[in-house]
Amino acid sequence: MTIYTNIASSLKKTAQTLPYKRAVVYPAGRDKNNHVLYSHLTFKQLDALSDRLAVGLEGIGISRGTRTILMVPPGMEFFIIVFAMFKIGAVPVVVDPGMGIDRMVQCLHQGRPKAFIGIEKAHLLRLVKPGYFKQVRHWITVGRKWFWGGHTFRQLLSNEQKSFTPVQTSQDETAAIVFTTGSTGPAKGVVYTHGNFDAQIKQIQAHFNIGPDEIDLLTFPLFALFDPALGMTAVIPDMDPTRPAKAHPEKIIEAIENQGITNMFASPALLNRVGKFGRKNDITLPSLRRVVSAGAPVSPDNIEQFAGLLSNDTQIHTPYGATEAVPVISISSDEILSETRHLSEKGFGLCIGRPIGNTQVRLIKITDTPITQIRDSLLVPEKQVGEIIVKADLVTEHYFNNREADLTAKIPDSDGRIWHRMGDL
């Protein structure tokens, strides 16, 4: 039986139940006293604008299954574009710009794109590396189109048709291709299905107990896919998301206080930067209900420092995962500071917690060779070192056009499900 799901349907639902709730809030400048001026879109507006753009995209030939490079930073345009793409069933190809131009364009080329949507600066790649974009047939500029051809974001929004019925995508249908950062090996295109996204949304909402009145500070671009689907207001901070270690802590704190932020993702570098500034200046952040820090190991000292800015019942969560499977394991600050910290300080490493929801976790014997089938003989006894493998509905099952990576990182189960090898011991 085919199961249908589409991440855009969550936006439609929120637009119907909470039409006037703010969906996206972004800084639009400063007044003469240097106070931030904000603009916003409601969920009703975001749904309507992404409907109009979906009509415009289909009108120029971008349709279901069209792999489309998306190089637009988090902001109003990003949200409108990505949900318009989900509505028509197009496939965003997303790459971390922090990996450098050469590796970035190689990844984009590997994604075999047929369309390109990007800000003005992104379109300069067409001039710098023209050979990598020969397959692209549709070009869209977010901003002012210079001497290159194609369409603009504003042009595609100007159509008069106001409503659009999202395509009925199946849970196994590709929703997006998200490239790994390449920090631990060659960057690979991770294939996310609509089912993966649906499972991620449910797991995040249940584990972190996210309510209908939440306001998120969007310091991690990938979460831009989840906030509207979770019904959270997404506040765009005044920072470069690719360089969190260089963010101005006073601007992050300003956004938290101005908008009453309840949920915040912070890389360990950002957590340390804001925590150090906050402690030095005796700042408290009572609106925060939870802080999530991931992407690298988070030291107990870093957690303790930031926890000093929070209310007593607010937890800092440090989930574990990878681009291919996230979040799969988690632990919170109370347990770290009261139970596991003293072991970490004795050299036993950092505790990453327990499996989340229905995630299954196993440890297998260490090997660099492909594993064609999961077997009991592969499992290691308790208290022995082994490689972490995980299985859950949110775990992605394959890479795009990369058979070698599939053989190395994926293990078929007897029931046809896939275990992902995390590559960690």
* Separation between Cα atoms, residue 182 and residue 323, nearest integer Å: 11
Q: What are the helix and strand counts (H, E) for the chain?
A: 15, 21
Calculate mean pLDDT across residues 174-187.
Answer: 87
pLDDT, residue 9, reads 92
Those residues with Cβ within 8 angstroms of residue 49's Cβ, 6 or more apart along the chain or in another chain: 41, 80, 157
- CA torsion sign for 309, 310, 312, 317 is negative
Residue 222 pLDDT grade (very low, low, confident, very high; cuts 50, 70, 90): confident
Tell me how far apart the alpha carbons of residues 240 and 195 are, in angstroms, rounded to a whole number: 30
Q: Average pLDDT, stretch 77-89?
A: 97
pLDDT band of residue 163 (cuts 50, 70, 90) is confident
Average pLDDT over residues 345-361: 95
Copy the structure tokens of residue 70: 């998306």
Instruction: Please tell me the distance from the alpha carbon of residue 15 to that of residue 399, in angstroms, as a whole number.
Output: 33
What pLDDT was estimated at residue 241? Answer: 83
Helix axes 76-88, 43-59, angle to 10 degrees: 60
User: Where does 209-264 have alpha helices with state H?
Assistant: 227-230, 249-259
pLDDT at 15: 95
Confidence of residue 342 (pLDDT cuts 50, 70, 90): very high
Q: Are 29 and 38 in contact (CB under 8 A)?
A: no
Beta strands in 164-305 (DSSP E): 174-179, 189-193, 215-217, 233-235, 263-265, 290-292
Task: Tell whether the model's pLDDT for residue 252 goes beyond 90.
Answer: yes
What is the pLDDT at residue 74?
A: 87
pLDDT in tens, 365-415: 999 999 999 999 999 999 999 999 999 999 999 999 999 999 999 999 988
pLDDT at 160: 76
| Residue 26 bridge partners (DSSP) | 39
Report the SS3 class of residue 315. strand
* Two structure tokens written together for 359: 């995630």
The pTM score is 0.94
Mean pLDDT, rounded, for 54-83: 95
